[in-house]
Each structure stands twice: as structure tokens, then as C-alpha cells.
Amino acid sequence: MGAAIRETAPARARHEDREERLARARAVLGTAERSAARWGGRIDRTALRSLDATEPSAPAQLRPVEADESTGTRLPVPSPLAELFPRASLRAGSSVAITGAAPTSLLLALAAAAAGEEAWCAIAGMPDLGLRSALDAGLDPCRLAITAADGEQRPQVLSALVDGVGVLVLGPHLDLTPALWRSLLGRARSADTLVLAAAPPGRADLTLTTTGGGWVGLGDGSGRLRRRRVEVTSTGRGIAGQHRAEVLLPQVNGALEAAPAVRSAPAVRGVDIAPTGTRLTLHSARSAG
């Protein structure tokens, strides 16, 4: 009997912790809804349901993807970017800063991979973000909250989001002070919340810098822009030197893909390049013997 009690006590504690985090998430979303109403936005709360009391063994919504006793919880990253991160993953409670070109696509790709199939994700500071873009990147709308987080209650809203979700995305249009940034990082470490931010006003554990290349999709004066080739470099804690990767983003379906190697045009054997002003065909070159 004593053994059974020892086994169920941790499960009960985890259940209570989930209920507490859900309650905090509901509270902050209520505040965000009132803030969003001023600029015509709306936040879907249908997925914030209480845990069914008849299913005590149901998995936690914020259950870690992978755990390691020596390094803490590890979260997955998109496979084309795996070589940029220590142990090809991200540590829960850490922070990643993104600077340069295409920050939105990279933020969404990292958030979707880290959130997985169970964690909640909150996005703030992206007023022009379309829900379709978030869905194409792989985020689950049933576990997604998008808020403006503006006005005087910005610190309270962001602090509550850090405590209530697994992944917090801070867009480029969010007015963050250095003091608020440091406060959010401290809360994120305590709550094991991954923070992804576009050009934050302070240091992060890791920094990804993107350099935009050419767009793909346009033909001879017609067509549509489909995707762009971007070089991503990473620096920061646990990274020796600077790592690089080339990716295509966004794809037609919003996903991120490794960029193929650039191939040069094959040379024709046995034919010398004629001097400028000289016309020489392959047939005449062969005839000349």
C-alpha cells in the first residue's frame, strides 16, 4: 500500500501543476483578449479545457519531448538546422535570438519543432501574422495563442505567458526594454519555457543570424516568389566557433528545407575556348582534328 502511495504522489503533483499552469494561461489570455479587442483581434480559447478527471493517466499537455538528467529537458529543432545547435536540440528554459533576414519564417519553424504535439505556444509582437502561416509552419491551432501584448499591461501579459506555455515567440514589433527582457529570461529558466525572440534588447543563450540570398520562383519576367535561399549562422553558449547552414524558406507549404548544393555547369571535354571574336562550333572543332 505504501509503495502504491509513493507511486501516485508524483502523478498527483504533476496533475496539480498542470492545472495551475492552465489556470495561469486562462488568466493571461483573458487579459490579452481585452487588450486585443481594442485593435479588432480575437483569441481562440476553445482549447483551454480542464483536464478530464476521469483520465488521471492522460499525458500532460506540456510534457517534455526528451529529458536528460545531466542537461535538462531537450527540445527538437528542424533537421536542416540541427548542426547549428549543441546536441542538435534546444534546452528547455533557454533563449534564442534571431537577427537578419527572414526572422518570422525562422521563428515559426523553430517554434513548431519545439512545441511538438503537446506543448502550448504563444506568439506576441507579430500583428501581421496570418493564422495560415502559423499552420503551414506546423503549429497546432488548438495549442496556439496570438496576442498583441501592447500597452501598459505588456510586462504582466508576457510574464504570465512565460509561466503558462512551453514556447514563447516574441516578434520584431514588440517593444521590449532590457529590464523586461532579463526578467522574462529569469522566469523562463524557472518555468522551463523556451523563448524565441527577434532582435531582443539583450543577450540570449544562442544567436542565429540570417543572410538572405536570392528568391526562387520567377521566370522570364513572370511567376511567383516561392522561397528564398538563406544562410544561417549560430553563435553562443555551448557552440565552439561559428556554425553555418543553408536552408530554403519558406517552402510552398511553409516548411523549412535544406538548400541543395549549387552545381556549376559541366565543361565540354576536348574543346578549347576560342579567343574573343572567333566563332568556333563543336562540329568544326572535330573536323579540324
Instruction: Look up the CATH superfamily of 15-50+60-206.
Output: P-loop containing nucleotide triphosphate hydrolases (3.40.50.300)
Q: At what angle do helices 154-164 and 2-36 cross, to 10 degrees?
A: 150
**Residue 50, pLDDT score:** 38
Judge whether residue 182 has pLDDT over 50: yes
DSSP structure class, residue 99: E
- Please state the pTM of the whole predicted model: 0.67
Q: Are 30 and 143 in contact (CB under 8 A)?
A: no
Report d(CA 13, CA 17) in Å as an integer: 6
CA angle (30, 90, 24) in 5-degree steps: 20
Listed by start position, the domains of the chain span 15-50+60-206
Q: Using one digit for the tens of pLDDT, what is the confidence trace for 15-51?
A: 666 677 667 666 666 655 554 444 344 444 434 443 3
Q: Which helix (H) or strand (E) is 258 found in, with range?
A: strand 257-258
**Residue 141, pLDDT score:** 93
Could you tell me whether strands 66-68 and 72-75 are parallel, antiparallel, or unpaired per DSSP bridges? antiparallel
Q: Which residues pair with 211 in a beta bridge?
A: 231
**Residue 268, pLDDT score:** 43
Q: Using one digit for the tens of pLDDT, what is the confidence trace for 58-100?
A: 333 333 444 444 557 899 999 999 999 999 999 999 999 999 9
Secondary structure E strands in 104-242: 121-124, 144-147, 167-170, 194-198, 206-218, 223-236
Q: Using one digit for the tens of pLDDT, what is the confidence trace for 98-143?
A: 999 888 989 999 999 999 999 999 999 998 898 888 998 899 999 9
